[in-house]
Amino acid sequence: MTIDTETIRYKIEQREIDNLNEYATKARFSKGRKKVEGECDLRTCFQRDRDRILHSKAFRRLKHKTQVFLSPFDDHFRTRLTHTLEVSQIARTIARALDFNEDLTEAIALGHDLGHTPFGHCGEGVLDELVKGGFHHNIQSVRVVEVLENLNLCQETIDGILTHTWGYTPKTPEAQIVQLADKVAYINHDIEDSIRAGIISEEDLPKDCIKYFTSIQSKRLNKMISEIVNNSINSSKVAMSEEGWYYTTKLRQWMFDNVYIDSPAKLEEKKARKVIRELFFLYCDMLKPMCEEIKIERIVTDYISGMTDRYAVEKFKENFIPIGLQRNNKDDYLFKLAKIIE
């Protein structure tokens, strides 16, 4: 017996229309892709976006990119990949509870940090100083999916990736969910990692925040998620309650004051900044004989921002640390970018 597979995607799309929140983004009514292509028989357009991101090279590299702690000695510290997976889990929980589109939410969550640099926000800060017009990982994430890996994602997915960070206004409730889930995820797992590292203890956290959320990691996380869900039922806008958001942002600011800036977690960042800076100038010089000057900065930025921590360190060693026998120094992808970037 043959199955008319075209009906499978149609049934999924119809299920969304029949069962999802009236404000949810429905796959059948997507604004589409920049390059028109045929539909999949089995998956909706947002499911395809999720799969394309999951199978991308940029996604795989996240496992060796810093979240907060550079080259952690303990395998239990978060990396950029495990952060992404936690954001995805939190976002899907919220989307499912509110009957928004879980597939679109997951695609945005999995793709939101694809453009992040090696060494976390430290690396991002260095490139922001060096690059004309600045560097922002959310914008680079969009560049990864649109240009460097050419995933041809739906407009709704790209918007969610772009607007996941502070200062942007998402166009869909699913993107609003990821923007919140990102904050909830990193606040909670960075607290846990910082306690594991001995930088802070639970008792150090602001007392009013502990009273509101409790000092237990899992309960604090659950309360933040519940505050979002309960405050967003039957609404087109996804947001945490005013009181919950006050204590969440207070906790976030406390983390900036005590962990993210000038704490023992940041002792190696001076070295990491030097790695990024020296590689940037090195590669700009390497490309001068073969590439128009206007393209060089763009090519080098794409190359360095795509590096993992350990690859950046290895390239620094190859180029700046004397060794007994000189190895063949190939930066093939750098020169490949020089040929394809318009």
pLDDT tens digits, 206-264: 999 999 998 898 999 999 999 999 999 999 999 999 999 999 999 999 999 999 887 78
What pLDDT is recorded for position 267? 82
What pLDDT is recorded for position 262? 78
Q: Is residue 301 part of a domain?
A: yes
CB–CB of 26/17 below 8 Å? yes
In the chain, the number of structural domains is: 1
Which two structure tokens, joined as six digits, stand for 118?
Answer: 């090696």
Q: Is residue 160 part of a domain?
A: no
Q: Is residue 47 part of a domain?
A: no
pLDDT exceeds cutoff 90 at 40: yes
Q: Is residue 35 part of a domain?
A: no
CB–CB of 118/61 below 8 Å? no
Distances, alpha carbon 282 to alpha carbons 81, 115, 148, in Å:
28, 21, 22
Q: Is residue 293 part of a domain?
A: yes
What pLDDT is recorded for position 1? 39
Q: Is residue 281 part of a domain?
A: yes
Q: Is residue 10 part of a domain?
A: no
CB–CB of 114/150 below 8 Å? no
Range of the domain at 323: 269-340
CA angle 174, 225, 119 (to 5 degrees): 75
Q: Which positions ≥6 away from 67 have C-beta within 8 Å?
A: 77, 78, 79, 80, 82, 83, 120, 186, 189, 190, 193
**Position 283 confidence tier, pLDDT thresholds 50, 70, 90:** very high
Q: Is residue 65 part of a domain?
A: no
Distances, alpha carbon 285 to alpha carbons 62, 66, 294, in Å:
28, 27, 13
